[in-house]
Chain A
């Protein structure tokens, strides 16, 4: 069973389903949605097999597949997952199913909509599973194409501006990474990520490479000050687009930092950690205040995403300060673990919040907070879920939102009291904007006639809400399986990055 090329299946099964869905599209419209759902569910099941077969005791890449792809340049179609990639692959396949269910009611060219999401799912799995840097880059860039169409075709009134901005921002960021990769290829003769991890590089070159990677991933995460595309993209994207964007695509930036920046340029990362930590703290606090001021629900969640992703970058780059202060690696690992948990957790929570906004938007066609009020009176079940998700977003203990942030803040204390102090204020801010939104939308008097006529969740929405709630609470109460999955790989990463690569 485990001899199957499972990772390839995870990439190509959704894409093959997408081709089938488009082919069915013109003649058999009624079949389109079930076929897409079956494809996504099958992918989810296969990723379950990967999870079951994954050995958490080792940091080695597992389920490896290696085929020579471009002979002249020593490029391989090389896939494999370790403890850092696997959680994100699982997140992707799960979200892949949920957006198909969420997109059930799309009227305009549903086959294209579903196909775009399936292609996107396959490509995102490819990003996490790629072990060859050029293969990674190919998946990383190719993702832009379906997302460009998703926002542009099915988005809101200002969708064209938003989608072009999204595309050009991300494209601009990533081209510098390409140059860095080519430069390293010319030094080492290989695009294998593990070879690049071992390549000795002088500090000046490391700094340039680090900055090139940082531009690429900072745009994706996004970090302040290159975050401006995200609120636009989120606001204009259809619900499914926002969910995928927030839940998975942003994580690709964080994943890139862990997979490329830290291990390939550890010395530059140690030298420039103040830069990333500074930007993260600005993102956490300043963007938190910006979120507080939003009157549009999706925009509020978008800014909240940027602020929460600040914890990810903060956690990743605290490592060096902790190692310097304490000389021990144990505490240093906490920051990276926290960042990884935060990524997965934010994947669930942001997906849940955007889905919740989608539920309201489908009924009222407004994202303005002011259009609502007293929704809990007419949609009690929905209110239960939505309040849970927004509480989780503010870091309520017992939900997944608490675990990652708590770990990062503890790690920050080891590094520098003031880092922790600034980061912890966000818990207040996060609670502020999340709960204030809950108050204005769900509680109080019924805001308008439209709200008074709202109906509670229907079956498909129940499925999405319950699934996400299970994961949000599950990770919050019992994060052990998630942490265990990543433990060995993080230990390996740590022991690698504390060694200088300058030869």
Chain B
């Protein structure tokens, strides 16, 4: 029995071991050969992917382990594999940045791997306690990542804000969980769901718990009214950490939302649906309108994240498997696009000068036509223009919300998509219609960085045209 349990958690155990190995090995690796740390970390991800894929192929059955606190199912496996892939890409992008800014230390890799472990635990959580443990591991690692550059005042400030607000949100979430426990007497999500559909618990207490849980989820996802940390953290953190925060943890947020709201509180769907609808509507409005006013590209992308997460919630609020699949597709699509967009910002940054302003993209079409074209595809994709990936993500969540009866929200969403198109177009405008300034340094990046960025940019187009496969993966994760 125990052996079976361990086998199901093999990828997690492996990542934990390797995170410790990286931590120790990095002490012995001299500064000049830091690439080795990168290599070990990447190999860890590859092997973890193989381990997860083996589990996925071995059986399609849902399996529980460790006294029903840990679950492996197809949904979890797919999300984990995507997390590995994304983190591997983040490593490649981040390496270039860290080298240029003298931050190329082992800590980035160790912290990222521990964060990944947290994400994996969250994805596989079958009990509220497991979920919370994974969440805290992820959160603590990310706080440290934000403060990676000790000499940066804004980085420390962002980390502090993130830590205080994050702890508050964790507290709220934990409080909500304890209320639910008080009402039903169980921490396991499946048991919680069973006892709720059996009519157990006082409705007042449950609703109270639910509100706190939704607030906690909203903070982790980064949506209105718990969105305040997003722009400050995106802006203050070093680009490599922003890149990380904007990608892999989004997958965890999706898992958190679906594990809690569907697996645990699915019966209370009628209660949380309206809350999510309001949160989504506010996020769409605030995210898009505030993004227009930004001149700083990191803040602009941060506000756009808020609106994107609003879109994602439109998929979840339907409470149907089609809706969850749409939300999952949206998250994965967003991760691909956002990784590419932040990588472009990294690419433009040169040693000592981190790109901040949208104006730094001036005349990119003349300086480097290929990279301008990649950025153009990423921006149009984020704006949701066909035939790019972002469009296929958007129409699915819109369809999900219409089929859930929220046609008004769908109309608001498409209008806000038009508003959003404006600030993405501005980036394209700056790149293509403005002249470069003479002082701008030529673009330079290592080969692996360029190759991956090209794959990433082309992927936004290719995954759009051939979106059927990815849609199928998401649909099957919930069937």
Contacts and interface: CB of A to CB of B under 8 A. Distances in A.
Interface of A: 26, 68-73, 112, 134, 137-139, 141-142, 144-145, 148-149, 152-153, 159-160, 163-164, 167-168, 171-172, 175-176, 178-179, 182-183, 185-186
B432 A179 contact: no
Interface of B: 325, 369, 380, 385-387, 391-392, 395, 398-399, 402-403, 407, 410-411, 414-415, 417-418, 421-422, 425, 428-429, 432-433, 467-468, 471-472, 475
A154 to B, nearest CB: 10
The DSSP consensus for interface residues of chain A is helix
A179 B387 contact: no
10 contacts: A70-B467, A72-B468, A142-B387, A148-B425, A152-B429, A152-B433, A159-B433, A164-B422, A171-B421, A176-B411
B414 A168 contact: no
Contacts, number: 85
B472 A179 contact: no
Contacts of A186: 399, 402-403
A73 B326 CA distance: 11
A20 to B, nearest CB: 15
Contacts of A145: 380, 385
Nearest to B401: A182
Contacts of B385: 141-142, 144-145, 171
A21 to B, nearest CB: 13
B402 A138 contact: no
The DSSP consensus for interface residues of chain B is helix
B387 A138 contact: yes
Contact of B418 (A73, A168, A185): A168
Can you list the 7 inter-chain pairs with the closest CB atoms, starting with the nearest?
A175-B414, A138-B386, A70-B468, A141-B386, A172-B418, A182-B399, A152-B433
Contacts of B369: 26, 112
B248 to A, nearest CB: 26
A145 B380 CA distance: 8
A137 B422 CA distance: 20
A70 B395 CA distance: 13
A167 B425 contact: yes
A134 B369 CA distance: 31
Contacts of A168: 418, 421-422, 425
A185 B403 CA distance: 10
Nearest to A138: B386
Nearest to B411: A179
A179 B425 contact: no
A8 to B, nearest CB: 13
Contacts of B380: 145
Nearest to A25: B369
Given A168-B425, A178-B414, 9 more contacts: A70-B467, A71-B471, A145-B380, A152-B429, A152-B433, A159-B433, A167-B425, A171-B385, A182-B402
A179 B401 CA distance: 11
Contact of B398 (A26, A112, A179): A179
Given A70-B467, A72-B468, A149 B402 contact: no
Contacts of A70: 392, 467-468, 471
B395 A182 contact: yes
Contact of A167 (B325, B403, B421): B421
A69 B425 contact: no
Contacts of A138: 386-387, 391
Contacts of B467: 70
B468 A142 contact: no
Nearest to B396: A73
Contacts of A71: 468, 471-472
Contacts of A179: 398, 402, 407, 410-411, 414
Given A137-B386, A138-B386, A167-B421, A160 B433 contact: yes
Contacts of A148: 425, 428
Contacts of A183: 402, 407
